[in-house]
Amino acid sequence: MFLELKNLLRFFKLRKSEKEIVFYAEHGGYYPSFEGILKELDVQSDKKICYITSDINDPILKNDNPKINSFYIKKFLSIFMVLVNCKVFVMTLTDLNQFHLKRSINDVKYIYVFHAIVSSHMMYRQGAFDYYDTILCVGPHHEKEIRKREKDLNLKPKKLIQGGYYRLERISDNYKNLNSTIIVVPKTDGKSILVAPSWGEQNIIESCGVEIVQKLLDLDYKVTLRPHPEITKRKPELLKKYSDKFVSNKNFTLETNVAGDESMLKADLLITDLSGIALEYAFGTKRPVLFIDLPKKIQNKNYLDLGIEPLELSIRNQIGILIKQSELNNLGEIVKNLISQKDFYKEKIEKIKEQSVYEFGNSSRVGAQAILDILK
């Protein structure tokens, strides 16, 4: 608490010109959503940036870039949000102004940066984006969904920018450079499987994860279990069950830090329920995904009212296959067949990516320019 108070005072003592641009991240795992824009701002502008994090272990707190001032604020975040006086506030946080985190009493322009490619109306609460001024849309689906909601409810139109998705670019680049000095992924003798579920009720970890991991290990696959950050935060006892059961198996890895991409890059196949990582993996590596048909993660029970099928549902059978939980008895054969068909999926996935993601390779410049345009 003393550290937070110290950070609050340090922020509000800054000259106005030093805090025109503010970024906020709930935890260190969200840095990849901002990384490209921050780098581009560093090149394009001499403006200083304030980066607020609610994660005391966030590496940004130890950054040595003189243009970035980092601050740890968590318990006092709601007070900070109301009083903050900047020109542009950039976040991946949804539900602005709907709960305890309100818009500032000052004239602040809020920009939303998506931290997933999925649609905006099923996996997010109703009204999750209503109080933002500008939204960097990943693809046409976001524009279509947000404009339809504005029209249906007669909301004030937001500025929608064709922003793309930097994290996907990073995954794609690193995947192409597996053997370069950019990133070194340990080579494995056997095939690697990444199991990465969402965090809704009855996700893979809660329902059938132990069975899936055990079957894959019995077949000599190397298995990485990558829980969603919300599972790590809310249900650590679930993860302990996995670590206790599989800790002695050298082919099993429990990965709780989701900021990196290594497990995606080295995986020959991704198994998930309906996590946004499916689109990042498929579009970034051009490899197929095995979906387990479990209850959908629905945050907005009225999502059907929009009359638009969410992207993450509509393309499941195009970027991989969907199986029922009862089909897990044949998991070994299904996994083997999918891995062998990676060349079949490669071109197919590339076409879907081109239709679904704006400004591929150029998202950082677009995002940085949006911020600089507001400053003008």
DSSP string of 250-319, one letter each residue = TTEEE----S--HHHHH-SEEEESS-THHHHHHHHH---EEEEE-----S-TTGGGG----HHHHTHHHH
What does the pLDDT read at residue 180? 54
What does the pLDDT read at residue 188? 44
Q: What pTM did the predictor assign?
A: 0.92
pLDDT-flagged residues of the chain (< 50): 181-188
What does the pLDDT read at residue 199? 84
Which domains are assigned to the chain? 2-165+360-375 (3.40.50.11820), 170-356 (3.40.50.12580)
Instruction: Find tokens 């670019």 and name the residue.
Output: 169
Mean pLDDT taken over the chain: 94
